[in-house]
Structure 1
Amino acid sequence: MDKRTIAVSLVMGISLLWFDASDAKTPQQTDDQIRQRIIDDSVASYPGVCACPFNSARNGSSCGRRSAWSKQGGYAPVCYKKEISKQQVEEWRNDHQA
């Protein structure tokens, strides 16, 4: 074999290894990580800045009782991990499998 054939073979072999590694499943997210993703998605989908009590209003003050989460009716964003059931975590996991 000449040097060029060896180089091409080497590049092809490395490429195959790289593609096999990229096909490997990513580690499963923990329930806690999924709960945080659900919260992040919920807050991001809220049209204003005060989805949750811990968010900051435009003037920099804490949203507190002005938040959508604190008010009855209307939007009901998910703000805390304790609000998310094991079943909701499993549903999220099933809906977001690669």
Structure 2
Amino acid sequence: MGKMRIGILVGVGLILSMPAIGKEALTDAQVRQQIIRESLSSYPGNCACPYSTMSNGRSCGGRSAYSKPGGRSPICYDRDINDAQVQAFRKRLGG
């Protein structure tokens, strides 16, 4: 019984210390898309970005928060995200 416990503990330790099997590293493009998704999910209204749609189904365009100076600044496009933000996101995820 003692050897079995030690074996289980060693096995669990090895599993926890290994990188996740099947967990692929995200590309920079995937990280940028995730940052955009998080930004948009935290926006309370319908018109975060110019390409968002209003409740009547029309495009928000210039009515979007992104298009208006001041106030909220949602991240809508890849070009809005610099390399430092990508690295900070990776660091936050632990990778």
Q: Which TM-score applies when normalising by structure 2?
A: 0.77
**Alignment-mate amino acid for residue 28 of structure 1:** A
Query: What is the RMSD of the two structures over their aligned residues, measured on CA atoms?
Result: 2.1
The AA in structure 2 aligned to 1:38 is I
Consecutive unaligned residues of structure 2, counting only runs of 5 or more, are 1-10
Q: Work out the number of aligned pairs and report it.
A: 80
Code of the residue aligned with 2:23 in structure 1: it is T
Aligned counterparts of 2:69 and 2:62: Cα–Cα separation in 1: 11
Deviation at 1:74, TM superposition (A): 0.6
Instruction: Write out aligned runs for 1:1-98 (5 A).
Output: 23-24=20-21, 26-97=23-94
Report the Cα distance in structure 1 between the residues aligned to 2:27 and 2:67, rounded to whole angstroms.
Answer: 28
Separation in 2, partners of 1:90, 1:25:
22
Larger radius of gyration: 1
Runs of 4+ in 1 over 4 A off after TM superposition: none
Matched to 2:53, the amino acid is S
- Cα distance change of structure 1 residues 36 and 23 upon mapping to structure 2, 3 Å threshold: closer
CA distance in 1, matches of 2:55, 2:94: 36
